[in-house]
Amino acid sequence: MMQTRRLGPFSVSSVGLGCMSLSHAYGNPPDPKVAAEVLLKALDLGYTHFDTAALYGFGANETLLGNTLMHRRKEFTLASKCGMFKNEAGIRSIDARPEILKQTCEDSLRRLKTDVIDLYYLHRWDRKVPVEDSIGAMADMVREGKVRALGISEVSADTLRRAHATYPIAALQTEYSL
């Protein structure tokens, strides 16, 4: 039995599965069938925290999780991220305007084939938008029942404090976290 840890309001396996490399980055991703097998095996082994993002494979990773895991949705905590994705020109873009975050959430819910994301991160702070505005829009998603808890990635302690003053931040993700 895998040990568990608290992640915001959730109890999750002490080791979670970051799903990015199944669709994006760190070399060539595996065949989708192999990627699906990895996800299912992780769940069978006791992993209960799966982390994805709209950016990973420009939506392909969320689609992979939606197609593979959602029939077992009650068995795991689902984390995804918004604010960094493929823009209309087809390139990676950071855009955390409230209206964009709300649309990204709807798109993610559709790809993930779920009605709620357990932990939703602001993937990157868009310095053109006050963090309070971005987190405020995400707090609306919690109130609407589309998201259960909020996280934020790659920010300073000051920005984290400002975000948390807007709405409680359950998790901070940094690229070099242990």
Catalytic machinery residues: 56
First to last CA, the chain: 22
Residue 82, CB-side half-sphere exposure with 13 Å CA sphere? 25
- Find out whether 84 and 94 touch, Cβ atoms under 8 Å: yes
- Find out whether 135 and 147 touch, Cβ atoms under 8 Å: no
Report which of 117, 103, 111, 114 is spatially closest to residue 150, judged by C-alpha positions: 117
Query: Crossing angle of helices 131-143/157-166, nearest 10°?
Result: 40
